[in-house]
Amino acid sequence: METNVTNIIIEKVKKSRISEVDFSNLPFGKVHSDHMLVCDYRDGAWQTPRITPYQGITLDPSAKIFHYGQSVFEGMKAYKDENGKVWLFRPDENQKRLNISSKRISIPELPREIFMDGLKTLVQIEKDWVPTTPGSSLYIRPFVFASGTGLHASPADQYKFFIVCAPSGPYFAGKVRVLIEEKYSRAANGGVGYAKAGGNYAGQFYPTQLAIQKGYQQVIWTDDNTHEYIEEAGAMNIFVRINDTLLTSPVSDRILDGVTRKSVIDIARAEGITVEIRKVRVEELVSASKNGSLKEMFGAGTAAVISPISGFGYRGSDYDLPEMKDSYASLLKKKITDIQYNKADDPFGWRFEVI
């Protein structure tokens, strides 16, 4: 393991809260660990990062985060193996993507070392917070937001980078029913859909709430122009199995380049599954569902891992997916989580040892 090049100021808690937490019954993203990392951008540069007790942030009411949504984030997990070792999964990808997102939102890019060394050091300190109950992990949330002030609609001159951690259980309780959305959209051509920018998520809440009221758990977004092609789900990329071929949309400026998505593509191909990366029409799903060739759909993302879809709603009709034995979803989920939890070889070199 490379040594840290970054100077990090560390202030530990006097007394850990860990004994107060019920690790056998963890929600998703609600319990925070003892410490957090914080790093300020001011005077044109990122300053020395600090690890401190998890604590409140005080901001001026004119901080631009409150007014202009200038924020980006990442979502990662730390996994504990049977020997108590702690692993990350492809953290480089998150490091790079954070900066891709930042650039689009006019946020200064964060030096790679601050991200990587800060992350590693924080997770080392929080290693006891990485849960071991099956399906659980330490969810890690790096994020950057505009703390500089001013009501002029222009980029801030100060930012804050944080990493917070939450020991978490599964994101979804079981299979997910989805609604294919034709009225509301998530992203514009030439917009910010490919960035993990805060505003992309707020815009999804209302249509998703409407879908939830109709008995679905998630919306499948379609392109905002024709609404003919499926794009992605709330915080997941979408895969479709027609006969034995796995289909997923190409990433674009409207679609997030998911780490799980690209890992799933690689694993599937290594397993001999034919994967086609191409636009998928809603009509294709409907007719494949009718003729029985639509075998599976699933979402893929760090938080939800691989989340099988039990059926979809479209134009007032519901289409159920068959119960599959030996589904691609369960195979791929086992393969990816075995790598993540150090239960299998790592032929792709994706695992990253933290401690």
Interface positions with ligand PLP (CB under 6 A): 75, 196, 232, 235-237, 256, 258-261, 301-302
Q: Which is nearer to a second copy, 146 or 220 (CB)?
A: 146
3-state SS assignment for residue 335: helix
Q: Name the one range near a second copy by CB under 8 A: 18-26, 65-73, 83-91, 125-133.
A: 65-73
Q: Is 69 in the site for a second copy (CB under 8 A)?
A: yes
Residue 55: strand, helix, or coil: coil
- The CB-of-15 to ligand PLP minimum distance in angstroms stands at 33
Q: Which of 244, 236, 293 is nearest to 272 (CA)?
A: 244
Instruction: Pick what 23 binds: ligand PLP, a second copy, none; C-beta below 5 to 8 Å, kind-dependent.
Output: none
Report the partner that residue 152 touches, choosing among ligand PLP, a second copy, none (CB closer than 5 to 8 A by kind). a second copy
Residues 6+ apart with CB under 8 A from 96: none
Centroid of chain to Cα 288: 29
| Residue burial 12-30, b: 16+ Cβ < 10 Å; e: rest | eeeebeeeebeeeebebbe
CB distance 328 to 268 below 8 Å: yes
User: Number of residues in contact with a second copy, rule: CB under 8 A?
Assistant: 73
Of residues 126 through 165, those in contact with a second copy by CB under 8 A are 139, 141, 143, 145-146, 149-155, 162, 164
Residue number with CB closer to a second copy (68 or 216): 68
**Residue showing tokens 């695992």:** 351
Q: CA–CA separation, 263 vs 258, rounded Å?
A: 9
Q: Following CA atoms 203, 209, 214, 217 in sequence, which dihedral angle do they give, to the nearest 10 degrees? A: 90
| Binds 237: which of ligand PLP, a second copy, none (CB < 5-8 Å by kind) | ligand PLP
Does residue 198 bind a second copy (CB under 8 A)? yes
- Partner that binds at residue 261, options ligand PLP, a second copy, none, CB closer than 5 to 8 Å by kind: ligand PLP
Nearer to ligand PLP, 236 or 294 (CB): 236
